[in-house]
Amino acid sequence: MRAFVSSVGTWMQRTAQDWLVLTQLMTHHNASAIGTVMALQFGPQLMLLPWTGFAADHFDQRKLLMITQATMGALATALGVLTVAGVVQLWEVYGFAFLFGCASAFDGPVRQTFVGALVGDADLHNAVALSSTSFNAGRMFGPAVSDRHFRANFPIFISTMAVGVFHADARGHGLLTSILAIGTMSGALLAAGREKPRFSALVVGAAIFGLGCALAALAPGYWMFAGALVVIEVAALTFTNTSTSLMQISTEPAMRGRVMALRLGIALGGTPIGAPIVGWVANHYSPRWALVIGALLGFAAAVLGIIMLRRWTLDPRSERTSARHFNRRAELRFSGSLSPFQ
Computed over every residue of the chain, the mean pLDDT equals 76
Report the C-alpha gap between 17 and 225 in whole angstroms: 22
> From CA 70, how far away is CA 50, in angstroms rounded?
22
Identify the pLDDT of residue 151. 33
| Nearest partner of 279 among 42, 35, 94, judged by Cα | 35
76-114 confidence digits (pLDDT tens): 889 889 888 889 898 899 999 899 989 988 988 887 777
Element (DSSP H or E) covering residue 141: helix 124-149
pLDDT at 3: 58
Distance CA 129, CA 241 (A): 6
Q: What is the mean pLDDT of residues 222-239?
A: 89
The confidence score (pLDDT) of residue 98 equals: 92
Phi, psi of 48 (to 5 degrees): -100, 15
CB hemisphere CA count around 262 (13 angstroms): 11
pLDDT at 147: 40
Measured between alpha carbons, how far is 306 from 200 in angstroms, rounded to an integer?
8
Instruction: Give the domains, in start order, of the chain with CATH numbers.
Output: 2-335 (1.20.1250.20)
Angle of CA points 47, 109, 122, to nearest 5°? 150
Closest of 193, 186, 291 to residue 230, by C-alpha: 186
Angle, helix 271-284 to helix 287-314, in steps of 10 degrees: 140
User: Quick one: which of 16, 253, 240, 37 has its CA closest to 135?
Assistant: 240
Q: What's residue 149's pLDDT?
A: 35
